[in-house]
Structure 1
Amino acid sequence: MMRQTTVGGNTLLTLITISSGSCYLLFGYDQGVLGGLVSQPSFLNAIGNPNSTYLGTIVALYNIGCLVGCLISAVYGDRLGRKRSIIWGCLIMVVGAVIQASTYGAGQLIAGRLISGVGNGMNTSTIPVYVSETAQSNRRGRAIAIQLSVVIFGTVIAYWLDYGTIKNLTGEIIWRFPIAFQIVFALITLFSMPFLPDTPRWLYAHGRQAEALDVLSRLMSCPVDDPQVLRIEEEMKEALNIEKETTSFKWMEIIHDKSDLKNTRRLVLCFMIQLMQQFTGINVIAFYGKSTCVTIVLESNLGYSRSSSSFIAGFIQIAFWFGTFPPMIMVDKYGRRPVLLWGSVALTTTMVIFTIGLAINTTASNQLALAMLFCYEISFGMSWDSLPWLIAPEITPLHLRHVGAAVGPFSEWLWTFVIAQITPVAIANSGWKFYILFCIMNALCFPFVYFFIPETKGKSLEEIDYIFASAEAKERLHRQFGVATLTPNTNSEQASKVDDIEHVEMGGS
């Protein structure tokens, strides 16, 4: 077994960010790489020149593999641990990439897509948990925002690498090289992750308390007997004691959740927030709306060539990536709810104007639609891009965190698949009217966040249990934060935390 690194503090956090970030770079790259290659003759010849419907299904089957990976994480993720789950996910993605890059038939490509999807499903279910459980509460939002910015950067790399190979290379290397290149990102994670520790919360929950406290002290750059470390140990211990009493999962609790910690309600929220994210229309805009606007505005109205239009579309993708930078500061400074709420307003406004622009269909209105496309993607990057991935592992209790973190991506991949299947037919038959659906769904995001999503800014993962707890469990947690773990140096800090928590209820500001 490889020896773990003994570094701590910012150095350890940086290594965790690089290793998990490379895995998320792989996530973004793998999502985008095939989209720019499916029209290449050498690629189509290699897989038997399927019709557009069959080709679309081949591409979309990746999402089915991701669903399977999420289910594997939900069932086995806690047994494997955060670190081993990521390692297995990357190994599976390497196998899938090799199969895809060596494709000589549609069946082989489908197998490779499904296998890669399984690995990606495992990774997307685990990385947010790994990052959340190793980040300090006041930096947790930034840590996840960085990871999701890396995802979008991965799609940027995929787009421009596809563009470069198509422009400058000939033959099958045009598509085999970009598909194989994803292995580089997987190898970075595979070579670095074994040297990193598993999360202190997973270690503590599995009876490895001494190792958990050692990792915690290294992450916090303080001795094992420091009051901060001891306080978090008490929080973990008390949270586990309460969670052990509420481990049952009953489907009827989806309607009326009677559990002390509202476990089912939390899992439903994990599913719903990713559903709402997908029905903002981001995948439709990213893959179909963008091509529609580029074709109408840049080619037909402004006279650009297909090559120049594709070049400009690449800069739209870069604008999307730049939009992911502000959340690195905003989500920990202003909170999760305000960012999601203003993002809902911005997405609704830009989607409505975008739809109107397509409906009017004049040179001026199409230019307006293209401008709204930029604004929409930047607004999404600043709000709904990263926060659903952050909230799912935050709001689930420790013993169900691997399930909640899998339920969220499961919803993501399920609705991505559904939208990918219905969009071509819907646009062909309804045109601009199809986007009215996303105007409505963006508008509904605001009340959804306002009434159902709690604020978790600055709270430890154990303190968040208090938001969902029943009166009896809340009293136990109140005694913990108010009395049990107080030291002479932390009374005022803990009292402040109790006041904060008591004012953060469902739908509270």
Structure 2
Amino acid sequence: MDKSDVQHVEGIEPDICHPEASWAKYIPGGYSPSRCIKVRGSSMINSILVLAGISIMFFGYDSSCMSQVDTNDDYLRLMGTDSGSARDSAAVGGLVSLWFGGFGIGALLVGALADRVGRLKSLQIGAIWAILGCALMTSAQNFTWMAFARVISGIGCGHLNTIVPIWTSELADSKARGAFVAVEFTLALTGGTIVYWTEYACIKTQSLPFAWRFPLGFQVVFLLFILFATPFYPESPRHLIRTGRVEEAREILLRARIDPVESEIEREITEIVAAIRLEARKPSPSFWKLMTTSDELHTRRRIFLGAGVQIMQKFTGIDFISTYAPEMFALAGYTGNKPAILAGCNFFGYTASLAVSIYLADRVGRRRLMLIGSSSMFVVLIVGGVLSHEVISLADSNPSVASGCGAGVTTVLYLYTFIYGSTWLTTCWVYPTEIFPLATRAKGTALATVAFSLAGGIINEIVPYLIDAVSFWVFILFALLNLVMLVPIYLFYIETAGRHLEDLDYLFANDSPFVWNAERDFAAIKSAEAAADSKAAVVISDEAEKSG
């Protein structure tokens, strides 16, 4: 397909293009060519990263905002959960988990809306949900009020956290998608760090009501920026081509590349159009059909992989260290303010680990990072379990040795968090946005995010009981889970780094689910294409010589 073929797409829109829903025009904002910022190259990339980064920073802030609210005496009294009973512990954990339920609903809304109204309007809708949730949480007066607020806040956060990686992955160069998401999640951890220390400072210097209400309300600052800045940003070029706006997509691709080469831009458009033609053979499937029907693109298998990576990232054990960090540092033998201070300092190393992820994401690849990360976390968690056992057993008989072992546990917790941040954190969010065909990318990514919310809700509900019930064995439990996860990663997770999104349709079209078979057949396809291109070039050269 040459350039004229690509241009012809706009002329046959009823056949392969899918216009936005007729009611989408009534939603204010979204993309406009005249309103879109006019910068190019690195300036455009940096601008995209600002909006995406602040959106994901809100995710980091919102997902961590309850860490010290849950221990605030005024909050516990108002929620009726201050008696210290098992029922109260379950209720407090339930309020945390309700956010994950809303998160899943928000992800499903993205799957239903993103292709019908566009990526940017979806982003704005998510910001409105989150603003409403923020206002309700800040003003909560009882348990029921807070429960509804947590769900609504989760809907907004899930909406944003699903659409932003889709939007950036469809705008990013194939060689930099991983780095894009790594930069975004560096800011997510920055958001988590901000809220942790904001809450700590408020607890130490302000009244108890202010100490939990102010941090919950402060996140509206991020959301207002997202809401009002989004209309000035470029839409996904893949969404524009899918809706028949090829020239607008071409202009955005030229602006979003540091050193744009026209032939490469045309090749990318050609690949997108070819993918749209392939997907136009059948109507866009529903969520139910995606999960229950087999097709030639093996979308159902991709859902298992996308959902699987999100579930596995929760079973690496990161929540039992990040969300319940003070309790974990207590297993190192620390008391008083030390567990909270150590947990807060851990956020700095966690954030710094993303610098490593930015460097490694596209150089090492998703598959290798997952394998390296799980292997390394298995080792350090085993060591942490052994040291924590020594802390507990020697606390009375040999306090000095127990103290040394406690320092070792602290080192393990810091090291574990750094490993997770530099390997898994980026991978688990970028991988689902890469593996789905364009027609089902929004719905597929949404289902993967729902898996994240379900796994997160379950883990956050049971981890407090695990820590109380099994103590240091919680280290060993998650170490073994990391070891088990190496098997499906090695067998089924195809490498996506450095490949055009449309090339992945060839990789996943293989009937075999095993990585080596897909890679072998993909290499054969590419070899055949290269040979055909070479032959065509020779023919063109010969014809040119004859005509000359």
Question: The TM-score by the shorter chain falls in which range?
Answer: 0.7 to 0.9
Q: How does 1:82-121 map to 2 (within 5 A)?
A: 82-121=119-158
Provide the rounded CA distance (Å) in 1 between the counterparts of 2:294 and 2:95.
43
Is structure 2 residue 426 aligned with structure 1 residue 411? Answer: no
Residue 235 of structure 2 aligns to a residue whose secondary structure is coil
Does the C-alpha gap of structure 1 residues 428 and 295 become closer, same or farther in structure 2, counting only changes over 3 Å? Answer: closer
Any stretches of 5+ residues in structure 2 without a counterpart? 1-28, 83-87, 395-401, 512-520, 541-548
Match of 1:172 among 187, 193, 209: 209
Q: CA deviation at 1:44?
A: 2.4
Which residue in 2 is equivalent to 1:16?
Answer: 48
Is structure 2 residue 473 aligned with structure 1 residue 433? Answer: yes
Larger radius of gyration: 2
Match of 1:234 among 255, 264, 270: 270
Q: Is this contact kept in 1: 2:81–2:91, CA < 8 A?
A: no
For structure 1, which segment, 420-429 or 393-402, has the greater mean C-alpha deviation from structure 2 after superposition?
A: 420-429
Instruction: Give, as a single letter, the amino acid of the residue that structure 2 aligns with 1:37.
Output: V
Does the C-alpha gap of structure 1 residues 485 and 93 become closer, same or farther in structure 2, counting only changes over 3 Å? Answer: farther
Instruction: Give, as a single letter, the amino acid of the residue that structure 2 aligns with 1:415.
Output: A
Q: CA deviation at 1:20?
A: 1.1
Provide the rounded CA distance (Å) in 1 between the counterparts of 2:484 and 2:455.
17
Match of 1:447 among 470, 487, 511: 487
Does the C-alpha gap of structure 1 residues 433 and 299 become closer, same or farther in structure 2, counting only changes over 3 Å? Answer: closer
Provide the rounded CA distance (Å) in 2 between the counterparts of 1:70 and 1:93.
13
Provide the rounded CA distance (Å) in 1 between the counterparts of 2:231 and 2:286.
33
Does the C-alpha gap of structure 1 residues 370 and 7 become closer, same or farther in structure 2, counting only changes over 3 Å? Answer: same
Encode CA deviations 1:56-99: one digit per residue, 9 max, x unaligned.
21122111110111111222222122111111111110111011
Which residue in 1 is equivalent to 2:378?
Answer: 348
Residue 454 of structure 1 aligns to a residue whose secondary structure is coil
Q: Runs of 4 or more off by more than 4 Å in structure 1? A: 246-255, 473-489
Residue 349 of structure 1 aligns to a residue whose secondary structure is helix
Q: CA deviation at 1:33?
A: 1.4
Q: CA deviation at 1:206?
A: 1.6
Q: How does 1:314-325 map to 2 (within 5 A)?
A: 314-325=344-355
Match of 2:218 among 181, 185, 203: 181
Match of 1:299 among 323, 334, 345: 334
Match of 1:36 among 62, 68, 83: 68
Is structure 2 residue 299 aligned with structure 1 residue 263? Answer: yes
Provide the rounded CA distance (Å) in 2 between the counterparts of 1:126 and 1:487.
41
Q: CA deviation at 1:292?
A: 3.2
Which residue in 1 is equivalent to 2:105?
Answer: 68
Match of 1:333 among 355, 360, 363: 363
Match of 1:391 among 431, 441, 448: 431
Is structure 2 residue 177 aligned with structure 1 residue 147? Answer: no
Which residue in 2 is equivalent to 1:245?
Answer: 281
Residue 295 of structure 2 aligns to a residue whose secondary structure is coil
TM-score of the superposed pair, with normalisation by structure 2: 0.82
Q: Is this contact kept in 1: 2:123–2:163, CA < 8 A?
A: yes
For structure 1, which segment, 159-168 or 401-410, has the greater mean C-alpha deviation from structure 2 after superposition?
A: 401-410
Q: How many residues are matched?
A: 482
Q: CA deviation at 1:23?
A: 0.7
Instruction: Give, as a single letter, the amino acid of the residue that structure 2 aligns with 1:229.
Output: I
Any stretches of 5+ residues in structure 1 without a counterpart? 301-305, 492-509
Q: CA deviation at 1:307?
A: 2.5
TM-score of the superposed pair, with normalisation by structure 1: 0.88
Provide the rounded CA distance (Å) in 2 between the counterparts of 1:146 and 1:368.
30
Provide the rounded CA distance (Å) in 1 between the counterparts of 2:206 and 2:285.
57
Does the C-alpha gap of structure 1 residues 191 and 346 become closer, same or farther in structure 2, counting only changes over 3 Å? Answer: same
Q: Is this contact kept in 2: 1:293–1:366, CA < 8 A?
A: no
Q: Is this contact kept in 1: 2:68–2:196, CA < 8 A?
A: yes
Which residue in 2 is equivalent to 1:507?
Answer: none
Instruction: Give, as a single letter, the amino acid of the residue that structure 1 aligns with 2:104.
Output: L
Encode CA deviations 1:9-68: one digit per residue, 9 max, x unaligned.
111111110011101000000111121122222222333345222122112211111011
Which residue in 2 is equivalent to 1:502?
Answer: none
Q: Is this contact kept in 2: 1:389–1:408, CA < 8 A?
A: no
Which residue in 1 is equivalent to 2:413?
Answer: 373
CA RMSD of aligned residues (A): 2.8
Does the C-alpha gap of structure 1 residues 250 and 414 become closer, same or farther in structure 2, counting only changes over 3 Å? Answer: closer
Does the C-alpha gap of structure 1 residues 237 and 279 become closer, same or farther in structure 2, counting only changes over 3 Å? Answer: same
Q: CA deviation at 1:480?
A: 6.6
Does the C-alpha gap of structure 1 residues 222 and 57 become closer, same or farther in structure 2, counting only changes over 3 Å? Answer: same
Match of 1:382 among 386, 410, 422: 422
Instruction: Give, as a single letter, the amino acid of the residue that structure 2 aligns with 1:111.
Output: F
Does the C-alpha gap of structure 1 residues 125 and 477 become closer, same or farther in structure 2, counting only changes over 3 Å? Answer: farther
